[in-house]
């Protein structure tokens, strides 16, 4: 038997810990640093890589990394040096997410479909370019910005304001030392996540995220306000296109460039006229996509992660999925993704029916009470026989949970209904 250490403190990490604890091959699951809902929390933050390695070594842990920051800092390389088993990509492979410029140039040279783009580190030149084109644009910070560094612009004025925000005001710090300005592709966005062992990739269930803070996809981008799985937008034929034209191509090209990719490869895709374009890559499980995906997974997650690290994923059968639909509604603190209050007591967490899972994110436990401790606080996730019933079940469950500044979107999953 082996123990598992899940690195991170969000809803994704709670869902991964919950799922891995169900494995007959796993003795105990630790989460570092965890949150108010995770068990066996270890008070080591995600950036203390040496301390995490020591803990994993002393407790016979297979380690699973949730967030992108420790991956970009080289946690996998450090664990590999110490001969400790860890699931996730190396620092080099993480560039697919940690540098949007690196990822764009990688896609360009390997003929993976993505929007046309230009790179700038000078605000004046970027401004001149924006004024010279009439095309709708997206402005992106090059580095990691917690899912908030992508500004989708509806006008020239918005694009100019985005340049000001990232390059001049340095709202995202060093992550915004360079920007990409790319053509805005308008279509239908979906998330496609695959499990990779450096040689092959096998798909996880399809999903769709809701990134904007307000209903009808308005307002600033967030880390994600809800998700559902599977999505009717990715039917079998589209899944095959994405797998062959994007995922397999990426894994093959990374291997050829001597940067084998092990871990979750997440392609945020925009589907326009039946053609999938890569908006961006993430190198870890999505959050909140992880929550509906894990509750639908029948197979043993640990078994798949372990064979991925060993490079023997081809020995595994296809992953088995529950036929039901799952919807995750994120309950956030009012004011997110800007400023918000913390330390508000959350009531009603114990009142749930079967098929309802409440994954904690920005929470902490104090004197047997659960308090809000972040922007995205909880992910209320529900199963249903149909997308409609899963939406209804998730929203019914959210009504039982309260704290003074609770906020959520009211339309999670609804865009999927128009495709049924």
Going by pLDDT thresholds of 50, 70 and 90, the confidence category of residue 221 is: confident
Question: Does pLDDT of 420 surpass 90?
Answer: no
Give 166-189 pLDDT, tens digit per residue. Answer: 999 999 999 999 999 999 999 998
Of the candidates 40, 43, 3, the one whose C-alpha atom is nearest the C-alpha of residue 20 is 3
Average pLDDT over residues 371-390: 97
Average pLDDT over residues 34-52: 98
Question: Does pLDDT of 22 surpass 80?
Answer: yes
CATH class (in words) of the domain with range 122-177: alpha beta
What whole-number percentage of the chain has pLDDT above 70? 100
> Could you tell me the CA-to-CA distances from 171 to 141, 154, 159, 166, 182 in Å, in that order?
10, 20, 15, 6, 20
CATH class (in words) of the domain with range 325-417: alpha beta
Distance separating alpha carbons of residues 201 and 199, to the nearest angstrom: 7
Residue 354's pLDDT is what? 85
Question: Does pLDDT of 127 surpass 80?
Answer: yes
Going by pLDDT thresholds of 50, 70 and 90, the confidence category of residue 148 is: confident
Distance separating alpha carbons of residues 65 and 311, to the nearest angstrom: 17
Going by pLDDT thresholds of 50, 70 and 90, the confidence category of residue 259 is: very high
Question: Does pLDDT of 283 surpass 80?
Answer: yes
Distance separating alpha carbons of residues 378 and 363, to the nearest angstrom: 8
The CATH 3.30.470.20 portion of the chain extends over: 188-315
Pairing mode, if any, of strands 179-183 and 117-120?
antiparallel
Q: What are phi and psi of 164, to 5 degrees?
A: -60, -45
Orientation of helix 301-310 relative to helix 11-20, angle to 10°: 100
Average pLDDT over residues 346-369: 92
Beta bridge partners of 13: none
The CATH 3.30.1490.20 portion of the chain extends over: 122-177
How many CA atoms, within 13 angstroms, populate the side-chain half-sphere of residue 387?
Answer: 19
The CATH 3.40.50.20 portion of the chain extends over: 2-88
Q: In angstroms, how far is CA 283 from the centroid of its own chain?
A: 8
Q: Would you say domain 188-315 falls under CATH 3.30.470.20?
A: yes
Which has the minimum average pLDDT: 87-96, 165-174, 190-199, 405-414?
165-174
- Write down the pTM of the prediction: 0.94
Three-state DSSP state, 121: coil
Distance separating alpha carbons of residues 314 and 83, to the nearest angstrom: 23
Element (H, E) at 329: strand 325-333
Residue 20's pLDDT is what? 98
Say if CB 93 and CB 137 are below 8 A apart.
no
Which region, left, alpha or beta, applies to residue 83 given φ > 0 means left and ψ of -120 to 50 means alpha? left
Going by pLDDT thresholds of 50, 70 and 90, the confidence category of residue 35 is: very high
Say if CB 363 and CB 389 are below 8 A apart.
no
Beta bridge partners of 264: 195
Pairing mode, if any, of strands 188-197 and 150-152?
unpaired
Which fold is adopted by the domain 2-88? Rossmann fold (3.40.50)
Question: Does pLDDT of 161 surpass 80?
Answer: yes
- Cis peptide upstream of residue 324 (ω within 30 degrees of 0): no
Give 285-307 pLDDT, tens digit per residue. Answer: 999 999 999 999 999 999 999 99
Average pLDDT over residues 321-338: 97
Average pLDDT over residues 394-399: 96
Question: Does pLDDT of 330 surpass 80?
Answer: yes
What whole-number percentage of the chain has pLDDT above 90? 92
Q: How many CB atoms lie within 10 A of CB 255?
A: 15
Please, what is the Cα angle at 233 between 246 and 103, to 5 degrees? 25
Distance separating alpha carbons of residues 199 and 256, to the nearest angstrom: 10
Residue 231's pLDDT is what? 95
Question: Does pLDDT of 366 surpass 80?
Answer: yes
Of the candidates 293, 291, 307, 306, the one whose C-alpha atom is nearest the C-alpha of residue 26 is 306
Residue 220's pLDDT is what? 87
């Amino acid at each position: 038997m082996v123990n598992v250490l899940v690195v991170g403190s969000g809803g994704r990490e709670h869902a991964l810990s919950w799922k891995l604890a169900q494995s007959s091959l796993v003795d105990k699951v630790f989460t570092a640093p965890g949150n108010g809902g995770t068990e066996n929390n270890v008070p080591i933050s995600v950036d203390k890589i040496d301390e995490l390695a020591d803990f994993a070594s002393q407790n016979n842990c297979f380690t699973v990394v949730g967030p992108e920051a420790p991956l970009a800092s080289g946690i996998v390389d450090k664990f590999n040096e110490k001969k400790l088993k860890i699931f996730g990509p190396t620092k080099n492979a993480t560039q697919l997410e940690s540098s949007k410029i690196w990822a764009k140039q990688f896609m360009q040279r390997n003929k993976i479909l993505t929007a046309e783009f230009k790179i700038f580190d000078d605000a004046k030149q970027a401004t001149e370019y924006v004024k010279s084109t009439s095309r709708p644009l997206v402005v992106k910070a090059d580095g990691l910005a917690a899912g908030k560094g992508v500004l989708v612009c509806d006008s020239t004025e918005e694009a100019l304001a985005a340049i000001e925000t990232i390059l001049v005001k340095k709202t995202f710090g060093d992550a915004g030392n360079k920007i990409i300005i790319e053509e805005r592709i308008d279509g239908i966005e979906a998330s496609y996540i695959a499990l990779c062992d450096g040689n092959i990739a096998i798909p996880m269930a399809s999903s769709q995220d809701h990134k904007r803070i307000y209903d009808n996809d308005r307002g600033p981008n967030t880390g994600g306000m809800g998700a559902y799985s599977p999505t009717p937008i990715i039917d079998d034929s589209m899944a095959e296109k994405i797998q062959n034209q994007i995922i397999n191509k990426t894994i093959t090209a990374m291997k050829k460039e001597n940067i084998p990719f092990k871990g979750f490869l997440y392609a945020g895709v925009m589907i326009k006229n039946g053609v999938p374009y890569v908006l961006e890559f993430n190198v870890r499980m999505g959050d909140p996509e992880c929550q509906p995906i894990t509750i639908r997974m029948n197979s043993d997650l640990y078994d798949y992660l372990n064979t991925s690290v060993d490079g023997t994923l081809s020995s595994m059968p296809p992953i088995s999925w529950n036929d039901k639909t799952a919807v995750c509604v994120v309950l956030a603190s009012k004011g997110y993704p800007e400023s918000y209050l913390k330390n508000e007591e959350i009531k009603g967490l114990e009142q749930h029916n079967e098929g309802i899972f409440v994954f904690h994110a920005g929470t902490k436990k104090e004197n047997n009470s659960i308090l809000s401790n972040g922007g995205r606080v909880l992910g209320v996730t529900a199963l249903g026989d149909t997308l409609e019933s899963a939406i209804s079940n998730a929203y019914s469950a959210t009504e039982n949970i309260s704290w003074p500044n609770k906020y959520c979107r009211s339309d999670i999953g609804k865009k999927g209904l128009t495709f049924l």
